[in-house]
Chain A
Amino acid sequence: MDKRGYLAIGFLIILFTAGSGCISDEHTVVKVVPAGSLLLPLAEIEQEYEAIHPDIDIQIEGHGSIQAIRQVTDLHRPIDLIVVADESLIPDMMYREGPNGVNYTDWYTPFARNEMVLAFTNASAYADEITTENWHSILSREDVKVGFSNPTLDAAGYRALLVMMLAEEQLDVPGLFGSVIGESFNPDLIINKTDGDMTLELPVLLRPEGGSKVLIRDASMFLMSLLESGGIDYAFDYKSVAIGQGLRYVELQPEVNLGDEAYASVYDDAVVYLGFQRFATIGNKRTGLPVVYAATIPYDAPEREEAEKFLTFMLDAFAEGGTGYPAPL
């Protein structure tokens, strides 16, 4: 065989090898669906993980916590890791049989906690006056505009309402809920109190009256944008989100901020009923609970082994913490 013949054979071998996938730059894709309030830290963790594991492609797709779980339970999408901002949702929605007769999952790992704060900017009314002690009287002032996310769409939204319900009771300020939130609606939103329990039933359409002191937006990111543009003075949101956005914030008392396990029995005195049942698979009752983040791997995760490795890495990263990370448990 002459030189040309060897060259041709060599070329064919390379062509065949490449075609059969032996020379490939394909990555193993691990699909992670987290709650929106974790997107900032997870972007960092993803980058660090992929730098160490160049053969792995961590694909992150953020949703609200309930929607995150529904990707598996209702839409039957192949997801490798679910991370939510409310640990109770995993047993409530996933400890049940899927189409193949096996539970969607039977376990979860709680790994971080968060708390509700009031985010604000230097331009917010009374920004130099507000403290943990007086925040409720500042919010009650007529010229102060307050925002929270839509309770039907975002857990931080109904948690804002739970905070205000608890504040009226725990801080012993009668009429506080009405003066900050309730009176901005027509008819007023009113807390029903019986034997120490408080319930709030929202209307089907939750729309503050025009020109009132309350504004509602779909989600945290739109609320933060409104805050930065001066459309509102204060926004209820998670502490980690306020820090991640570089905003000023005031902490709330532990008995109302949904961030302290020691007050779990106080928090569950408050219940919000959403105006309609958005999802067939979960009701419209939202009870006050400490904000605890949790993760699970669905039973039929396509890349279970890789998801377990990434979960371990992620848990270590959250335990170590960082700017905009919810606090480790």
Chain B
Amino acid sequence: MRNLLLILVIFACICAAGCISDPYAEIDWPLTLVGADGNEKVMTVSEIASLPSVNGNGYAVSTVGIKYGPYNITGVPLIELLNQVGGVHEGQTVHVSAADGYLWVFSYEQLLGEDLLCLDANLKEMKNPATMTPILMYAADGAPYPYDDGGPLRVATMTAEPDVITEGSLWVKWVDRIEIHG
């Protein structure tokens, strides 16, 4: 019993000293979410990482055929993230902006994983599309997603199956604002 208490005390001390720390706590990258009613909510990467997350395969190709990945990616499904500002509904669009002045617009159906293309290893369209989930990714291969690759927050299309290649144009880098329109 005394030994168990000792272990617990040591563990508590380690936690208090920050040895088991939040790897996202130091990342200064506020994300602004804007609901259809105009209400805004600003979230830190750490707050986003504390939401229920999903984990799966991420593999993309650029419009000129450069492949990125495969990665094991972690993030929050965009459709669930937007529940923080009232949710997104059929007929609405989602405008994702980035710190470098880039903007891409998603349909409601795309957030559900529909109306997206997927390709095989030879970059041929797959006849039976994989299950795809657009997410706001904050980690890849178990580590915070690096700035040089488009982090700390990047849109990614996650697939349950490996070796499925998705459209890189949707993988918006350096995301800092997401608005619901309509």
A279 near B: Cβ within 8 Å? yes
Interface of A with B (CB < 8 Å)? 36, 39, 61-64, 70, 74-75, 150, 153-154, 204-205, 207, 217-219, 221-222, 225-226, 229, 231, 275-281
Q: Is the CB of A225 within 8 A of B123?
A: yes
Chain B, 112-146, CB within 8 A of any chain A CB: 115, 117, 119, 123-125
Q: For B119, what are the chain A residues with a Cβ–Cβ distance below 8 Å? A: 222
Q: How far is the CA of A153 from the CA of B105 in the complex (A)?
A: 12
Partner of B64, one of A217, A219, A229, A276: A219
- B35 to nearest A CB, angstroms? 18
Q: Which of B74-82, B95-103, B151-159 contacts A (4 or more CB under 8 A)?
A: B95-103
Partner of B100, one of A36, A61, A74, A154: A74
B167 near A: Cβ within 8 Å? yes
Asked if A281 meets B124 with Cβ closer than 8 Å, knowing A63-B64, A207-B115, the reply is no
Q: Is the CB of A275 within 8 A of B123?
A: no
Asked if A217 meets B124 with Cβ closer than 8 Å, knowing A36-B63, A62-B64, A153-B169, the reply is no
17 A–B contacts from the bound complex (CB under 8 Å): A36-B64, A39-B64, A63-B63, A63-B64, A150-B169, A154-B63, A204-B105, A205-B107, A218-B167, A218-B169, A221-B63, A222-B117, A222-B123, A225-B123, A231-B125, A276-B95, A278-B102
Q: How far is the CA of A150 from the CA of B104 in the complex (A)?
A: 13
Q: For A231, what are the chain B residues with a Cβ–Cβ distance below 8 Å? A: 125
Q: For A280, what are the chain B residues with a Cβ–Cβ distance below 8 Å? A: 101-103
Number of residues on chain B facing chain A (CB within 8 A): 23
Q: Is the CB of B125 within 8 A of A229?
A: yes
Asked if A276 meets B102 with Cβ closer than 8 Å, knowing A62-B66, A64-B63, the reply is no
Residue of A nearest to B101 (CB): A280
- B83 to nearest A CB, angstroms? 22
Q: For A39, what are the chain B residues with a Cβ–Cβ distance below 8 Å? A: 64-65
Asked if A221 meets B123 with Cβ closer than 8 Å, knowing A63-B64, A75-B100, A154-B63, the reply is yes
Q: Is the CB of B103 within 8 A of A205?
A: no
B57 near A: Cβ within 8 Å? no
Q: Is the CB of B103 within 8 A of A276?
A: yes
Known contacts A64-B63, A207-B115, then 19 further A-B pairs from the complex at CB < 8 Å, ordered by chain A residue: A36-B63, A39-B64, A62-B62, A62-B64, A62-B65, A64-B64, A70-B100, A204-B93, A204-B181, A218-B167, A218-B169, A219-B64, A221-B64, A221-B65, A222-B117, A222-B119, A222-B123, A229-B124, A276-B95
Q: Is the CB of B102 within 8 A of A279?
A: yes
Partner of A277, one of B64, B103, B169: B103
Q: For B181, what are the chain A residues with a Cβ–Cβ distance below 8 Å? A: 204
Q: Is the CB of B93 within 8 A of A278?
A: no
Q: How far is the CA of A275 from the CA of B95 in the complex (A)?
A: 12
Residue of B nearest to A74 (CB): B100
Q: How far is the CA of A45 from the CA of B55 in the complex (A)?
A: 43
Q: For A204, what are the chain B residues with a Cβ–Cβ distance below 8 Å? A: 93, 105, 181
Q: For B117, what are the chain A residues with a Cβ–Cβ distance below 8 Å? A: 217-218, 222
Q: How far is the CA of A34 from the CA of B64 in the complex (A)?
A: 10
Partner of B107, one of A74, A150, A207, A221: A207
- B152 to nearest A CB, angstroms? 17
Q: How far is the CA of A276 from the CA of B64 in the complex (A)?
A: 22
Q: How far is the CA of A218 from the CA of B165 in the complex (A)?
A: 14
Q: For A281, what are the chain B residues with a Cβ–Cβ distance below 8 Å? A: 101
Q: For A205, what are the chain B residues with a Cβ–Cβ distance below 8 Å? A: 93, 105, 107
Partner of A218, one of B63, B95, B105, B115: B63
